[in-house]
């Protein structure tokens, strides 16, 4: 069924996980016996996280996972807000991976991520078919997270080809070999949005991540804008570069904007990037201009960073302090 006014978002989690978060009462010390103050578990993966934030913002979402098990499905349905995840059940004996995050009181997080089950060619084809079946008529499709074992590094580029012509904007948030293959497929497999962090931007453009972030902390994002501009020019509609506590830079064909992050008390960075993606898409669907879209992305990401563990933000959690956005004009190409 095609939406009369496209507002629906489809998220695709290629390698879903159950996120188990252990909250420590003190500093993580290697080799010591430590006391855990709290434990939470939730169905996760970047696409699931994006969907939960969008659902909290009041948008209709369809959540697709490449594969799932009953425990994952049950956790998703018990989440707040609850989400129903579509996807094929893993065979007996296989399970969704468990990612363990250890958080410290100052917001420092340590992540231990399992690889996930290995997918056959048939399972990959079934997952792609399930995505295409629900993508028609959607406003946005978000391809998010790492790829499962067995998937080719260019699987996201292949999925973009399958989605071409369905009328939806495509956002991608991934890393590693999947990100390299995605950029390597441009401009043949162009898409609407990507959200690299400083490390990923530096890797893709030959820049210096430490220098990017240090300059951004001083309010100078000249080099970030130039580097993001080279990616945008290769066939990406909008490039949103997340810069941690400094904020974010957005570059599209119309220009560039720097949004300064509001002051928050950092508690956990888990889910901050996913929340930023959701904030951008939520504002875009509402008809916001680019400045307001990057402001929404930074507000959602900052809200997530101020929440404990794996908690994702709702509109009530967004900072009351407005996000300052500076228009920078058209980027120079480097």
Range of the domain at 211: 195-334
Q: What is the pLDDT of residues 163-212, one digit of tens each?
A: 998 999 999 999 999 999 999 999 999 999 999 999 999 999 999 999 99
Helix, strand and coil in the chain, % to nearest 5: 35, 25, 40
Residue 180 located in a structural domain: no
Domain match, 2 and 117 both: yes
**What gap in Å lies between CA 323 and CA 247, rounded to an integer?**
9
Residue 77 located in a structural domain: yes
Residue 284 located in a structural domain: yes
Domain match, 113 and 233 both: no
Q: What is the pLDDT of residues 72-116, one digit of tens each?
A: 999 998 888 888 889 888 887 789 999 998 988 887 889 898 888
Residue 241 β-bridge partners: 249
**What gap in Å lies between CA 137 and CA 100, rounded to an integer?**
36
Domain match, 105 and 201 both: no
- Indicate the pTM of the whole model: 0.89
Count structural domains, the chain: 2
Residue 152 located in a structural domain: no
Residue 174 located in a structural domain: no
Q: What is the pLDDT of residues 1-41, one digit of tens each?
A: 444 557 899 999 999 999 898 989 999 998 999 899 988 88
Residue that finishes a domain, picked among 110, 138, 166: 138
Residues 203/208/214/216 CA torsion (nearest 10 deg)? -60
Q: What is the pLDDT of residues 242-299, one digit of tens each?
A: 998 899 999 999 999 999 998 888 877 878 999 999 999 999 999 999 999 999 999 9
E-strand stretches of 25-131:
36-44, 61-68, 85-89, 97-103, 109-113
Domain match, 113 and 216 both: no
**What gap in Å lies between CA 44 and CA 52, rounded to an integer?**
9
Residue 52 located in a structural domain: yes
Residue that finishes a domain, picked among 95, 112, 138: 138
Residue 313 located in a structural domain: yes
Residue 166 located in a structural domain: no
Domain match, 125 and 223 both: no
- CATH number of residue 124's parent domain: 3.40.1190.20
**For residue 79, how many other CB atoms are within 10 A of its CB?**
17
């Amino acid at each position: 069924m095609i939406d009369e006014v496209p507002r629906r978002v489809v998220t695709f989690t290629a390698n879903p996980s159950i996120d188990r978060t252990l909250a420590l009462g003190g500093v993580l010390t290697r080799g010591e016996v430590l006391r855990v103050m709290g434990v939470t578990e939730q169905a996760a993966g970047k696409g699931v996280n994006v969907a939960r934030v969008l659902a909290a913002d009041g948008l209709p979402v369809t959540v697709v996972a490449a594969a799932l098990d009953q425990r994952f499905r049950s956790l998703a349905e018990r989440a707040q807000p609850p989400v129903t995840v579509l996807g094929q059940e893993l065979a007996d004996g296989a399970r969704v991976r468990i990612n363990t995050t250890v958080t410290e009181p100052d917001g420092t997080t340590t992540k231990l991520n399992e690889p996930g089950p290995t997918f056959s060619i048939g399972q990959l084809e079934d997952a792609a078919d399930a995505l295409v079946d629900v993508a028609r008529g959607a406003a946005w499709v978000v391809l998010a997270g790492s790829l499962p074992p067995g998937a080719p590094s260019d699987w996201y580029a292949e999925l973009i080809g399958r989605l071409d012509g369905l009328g939806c904007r495509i956002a991608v948030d991934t890393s590693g070999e999947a990100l390299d293959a995605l950029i390597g497929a441009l401009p043949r497999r162009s898409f609407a949005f990507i959200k690299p962090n400083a490390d990923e931007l530096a890797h893709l453009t030959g820049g210096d991540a430490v220098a990017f972030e240090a300059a951004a902390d001083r309010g100078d994002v000249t080099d970030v804008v130039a580097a993001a501009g080279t990616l945008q020019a290769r066939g990406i509609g909008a490039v949103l570069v997340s810069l941690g506590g400094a904020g974010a830079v957005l570059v599209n064909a119309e220009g560039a904007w720097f949004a300064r992050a509001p002051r928050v008390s950092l508690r956990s960075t888990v889910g901050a990037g996913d929340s930023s993606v959701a904030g951008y898409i939520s504002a875009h669907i509402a008809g916001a201009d680019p400045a307001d879209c990057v402001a929404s992305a930074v507000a959602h990401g900052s809200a997530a960073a101020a929440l404990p563990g794996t908690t994702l933000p709702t509109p009530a959690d967004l900072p009351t302090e407005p996000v300052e956005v500076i228009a920078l004009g058209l980027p120079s190409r480097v």
